[in-house]
Amino acid sequence: MELQNACLYERKLGDGMTNALGLLEVLGFSVALYVMDQACKQANITIQAMDCNNPINGDDATIPVVVQVKFTGSVSDVQVALDVAKESARMFLAEDEIVTRLISSQADGLEKLIHTGKVQAW
């Protein structure tokens, strides 16, 4: 879906905000904090939750933690945030160590899972 058409798929919440969801996964907590700081400076997004997991190669990993950040905003702001986060993460990580996803319109019930995470964002 092209970004110009993405706004057609924004779904309004009761408070008038959109509910596009951005997902970022990177190796390292400090990398996640840095790239999300950069993303927040460039886009109007709200970090909802962070989660930490073990990387696929466990203790043999150079950085032994995978961090997922879940954030919301308009489709265009979430896309900008993902682009900025990915570009910032490339300073520290290889391309295959960075995962970004955009859900432009959440399914009913998904919002309950957004706030689930081991690290509280507030």
Check residue 12 and report its DSSP letter: B
Percent pLDDT > 90 in the chain is 53
Phi, psi (rounded to 5 degrees) for 42? -105, -15
Name all domains of the chain by residue range, CATH numbers in brackets.
18-114 (3.30.70.1710)
In this predicted structure, the answer to whether residue 7 has a pLDDT above a threshold of 90 is no
Give all strands of the β-sheet with 20-27 in edge-to-edge order: 45-53, 66-73, 20-27, 98-103
- Which pLDDT band holds residue 119 (cuts at 50, 70, 90)? low
At 27 the pLDDT is: 93
Sign of CA dihedral 81, 82, 86, 89: positive
Residue 98 has pLDDT above 50, yes or no: yes
State pLDDT tens for residues 8-61: 333 444 444 457 999 999 999 999 999 999 999 999 999 988 998 887 777 777
Q: With a cut of 80, say whether residue 111 has pLDDT above it.
A: no
The pLDDT tens digits for 68-77 are 999 999 999 9
DSSP assignment of 18-44 equals: B-EEEEEEEE-HHHHHHHHHHHHHHS-
